[in-house]
Chain A
Amino acid sequence: MSTISVSHLKKYYQVLKKEPGLAGGIKSFLKREYQEIKAVDDLSFKIKEGELVGFIGPNGAGKTTTLKCLSGLLYPTKGQVRVLGFDPWQKKTQFLKQISLVMGQKNQLWWDLPAIDTFSLNKEIYEIPDQEYQQTLNELTYLLEIKDLLKTPVRKLSLGERMKCELVVALLHSPKILFLDEPTIGLDVMMQKKMRDFIRLYNERKKATIILTSHYMGDVKELCQRVIIIDQGRLVFDGKLEKIIKKYAVNKVISVILAKEIDYQELDKIGKIKDFNYPKLSFVVKRGKVATVTAKILKNLPVTDLSIEEPAIEEVIRKLFANKDYIDSELNSE
């Protein structure tokens, strides 16, 4: 049975349209014009208990809007959403006690107070028993290394420290469903790694269902086996991450380390050069021609090492969004 089920979800907004400049401002003051934005347009998917799903798409694709519908913040224009058997919009206490939404750009901690004050307030809001609260708090603050920061006012914390505290406050009630919207935004690479490790650990230990949106493909690559890609509010892909490469990467990369310098013109006869910086050389080759080109390289060039690689996932996704290859094509693989 699915923990999350989204069926033909639509969320349209009315957005005020305004021409630039003072004249546009006056015109807009006298006569308001609105434009309909299809933030989510006929989206359907299901997520099973314990899955950690990456939710990706370009800016304005509808990722955050979908998460807001799943957590009951937005009223869907059409379609049906069920989370843990609840209609999120109803905001039933039993539903709210089992979910959490973490937004990387905003915080729910009381800004002027130490984080521990927000934690103790949430303990009461979620009616967490004393012993359970103490145990969870100890565990989370230990894992995230913030034990010494609990009595410092939130406004004095660094972004990374604050994000860790945000995670603690979101997880104190041990939610079964966790919506993470850009949880590593603005963090340095070390902190991103720590966050990822923690999210993976939480997923494994608590068997929690997690949906993660991120612009950092590193987050998705490391954490999610399954990804859902949306663009312009519509589903583009739903399946295993490696399938994206097979589906959308038409080329492979053959990388070579040369033993000695060669005539550059010789290379053009072999294939399309991606990069050449002696002794490193790489070719971009159509999937079907990999064997032929490899044979040519080995026969004609002084090679000390050779490897055949899939293109980087970041590159595939970037091209996918840039070229909109998926439009008018068969979309879903699963």
Chain B
Amino acid sequence: MIKYLFIIRNTFEEYFIYRINFLFWRLRNILGLLTGYFFIKVVFGQEKILYGYDLEKILTYIFSVSVLRAVIFSSRVADLAGVIQTGDLTNLLLKPISTLRYYFSRDLADKVLNISFSLLELGVIIYLLKPPFFLQKNLFSLILFIFSAGLALLLYFFINFLLSLIGFWTPEVWAPQFLFGILLNFFSGGLIPLDVLPKPVQFVFQVTPFPYLLFNPMTVYLGKSSLLTALGMILISLVWIGIFYFLVRRVWQKGLLIYQAEGR
């Protein structure tokens, strides 16, 4: 396992080389947070409750989703499609190392960095703007939230890994990845809480794996899910992870059969 720690170390090092990129990337995140905050303030106006959310809970949702998104959606595995296309995958295939774990390690480095800075930035914004913020004090709900967020992280990794495997069949990976990113943000509840949508739409969304990435863990944090519902969501998350893991294995093996190690 030490080899994967070294991959995490090298990934960290890479980030700190391009300092300007790093600073602008963080600035983008702060601007995103502030935009969300002021947008909600304007939308709420004088209203006390909108779509079942009070200002405290909706702001908590917006801020917490931004941190959660930073943890779950931060990913290096999207690079894999390009790596397959350029033939750079060869470097990994020639080594006694698992490509899946290699990218998971890269992702972890990304996530550690993201969560550290996101929490710091969120702390500064809360300190400066002093918005109403809901702190979940029930330890059991917190544990369930952390567990479901952990599963969301795994689920996102496998979905993204699977999508990147398109690179074995076509060089046109940018468009599907871009479209997927936009849809994912909406379907997972990254833009708005999904329970503000009409019931039939919510039902359709819930039969996909996407709400298990952001929205469902957030409902656990906000105390909007009963214990039974939360446990049910965790169980379904596990099923989705199993399905995507199986698909990744199958598609990976199929992809390797036609891999041409191009560019060499």
Contact = CB atoms under 8 A, between A and B. Distances in A.
Contacts of A112: 13-14, 17-18
Contacts of B198: none
B231 to A, nearest CB: 39
Contacts of A75: 256-259
Contact of B96 (A68, A96, A113, A118): A96
A26 to B, nearest CB: 16
Nearest to B260: A13
Given A64-B264, A68-B261, A96-B96, A73 B6 contact: no
Nearest to A89: B256
A126 B17 contact: no
Contacts of A68: 90, 261, 264
B132 interface: no
Give the bracket for the number of chain B residues in contact with chain A: 20 to 34
A96 B95 contact: yes
Contacts of A195: none
Given A96-B94, A96-B96, A113 B10 contact: yes
B66 to A, nearest CB: 28
Nearest to A105: B264
A103 B257 CA distance: 21
Contacts of B18: 112
B97 interface: yes
B17 A121 contact: no
Nearest to A64: B264
Contact of A71 (B88, B94, B260): B94
A73 B88 contact: no
A261 to B, nearest CB: 55
Contacts of B259: 73-75
Interface residues of A, number: 32
A200 interface: no
Contacts of A74: 259-261
Chain A: interface secondary structure? Answer: mixed
Contact of B10 (A73, A93, A121): A121
Contacts of A64: 264
A240 to B, nearest CB: 29
Contacts of A46: none
B173 interface: no
B80 to A, nearest CB: 16
Contact of B94 (A101, A110, A117, A121): A101
A55 B90 CA distance: 21
A106 interface: yes
B197 interface: no
A106 B13 contact: no
A57 interface: no
Interface string B1-39: 011011100100110011000000000000000000000
Contact of A126 (B90, B96, B263): B96
Nearest to B3: A124
A183 interface: no
B138 interface: no
A152 interface: no
B91 interface: yes
Contacts of A110: 10, 14
A97 interface: yes
B87 interface: yes
Contacts of A333: none
Given A103-B264, A113-B10, A91 B91 contact: no
B100 interface: no
Given A121-B6, A122-B95, A181-B264, 13 more contacts: A13-B260, A68-B261, A75-B259, A91-B93, A96-B96, A105-B263, A106-B90, A106-B263, A112-B14, A113-B14, A113-B17, A121-B3, A125-B3
Interface of A: 13, 64, 68, 71-75, 91, 93, 96-97, 99-101, 103, 105-106, 108, 110, 112-113, 117-118, 120-122, 124-126, 153, 181
Interface of B: 2-3, 5-7, 10, 13-14, 17-18, 87-88, 90-91, 93-97, 256-261, 263-264
5 contacts: A73-B94, A113-B13, A121-B6, A125-B97, A126-B95
